[in-house]
Structure 1
């Protein structure tokens, strides 16, 4: 589906070059290039990259025919089961979707050039700030406290984190009063990590009055 009409775009990428001369530029054999143009076969990713490098055409254009918008930044949503309840075991951390953001908007938010991802909230411990199913934008920088995505052993949670410098411990709390606070001292033997800070709710599943 993505390589529909690829042979036409390849012809344009070849330009005035013969199969032989373009083969020398790209490292893809002349016979293989001819097969692509005649729709006898389709390129693998490594050959697409070689054709892109040799022709100066973008991978996005070669595969889809779409011209990339340099003012748009792609941020991926990951299958990271972020829990706002009692935690959820992380089994996969694979991108499941992509979102496009204006580079100008990211600059205004102080987020341009930062490592960002989008994950989905599970559970109700952060209500009314976050609801089950909300999509949140997470910044993956060095963070000490705030509304954060954290990992405690095999559980990934979204909680409010406060670092006590005097005691050298973390206070982890929920917005929902039904959930107890957690204290992690410097003597905590488990695995604790702040994955990132929640910077924005992108999509709410519940209308908030």
Structure 2
């Protein structure tokens, strides 16, 4: 099997990790004081949702080919899951801290975010190893497909961390489908700010369409628009 000559998967991972670090920085800037635990919901919820979706997508997309096709893939998957689950546990604490759990009172936001940054850096390192080993093993077409599928799966992945549910195999796939539905219900019930996919811009109607809609739109920059 020819090895990959493209960095498309590596670039996709790097781009997503940069986006997650940006979301973490936004969430940290909105950290609530102990006497106002519900401040900063929107940015914290967005960080939790996007990070959780990416972790679930990595489980679904990158772990199976790593285990099957990469030398020592089983060990790589084991090490990655240990790191990923540690990050998920920390994310669970973030949500509990955000909503004022009594078990989180001994901790301040500074300590919570420091734990997140440490766990995220370790998970990113292990994810980059997966990407590098897959790039060195798979052909370009497979790498391109993985990069695109990683993005697609994020859109329908669970929006909350689930460190104690199955992550791999058939049970992992079933768990992600169930948790996606459960998370959607609770996100709506709790009014969480969960970012959705950005819709594509609609095309402007042509002249006939404007006529049929009785909605003429003039180009203000055109000299004869008036």
Query: Which structure features the higher share of helix residues?
Result: 2
Q: TM-score, normalised by structure 2?
A: 0.21
Q: Which of these two proteins has the greater Rg computed from alpha carbons?
A: 1
Query: Which structure features the higher share of strand residues?
Result: 1
Q: TM-score, normalised by structure 1?
A: 0.22
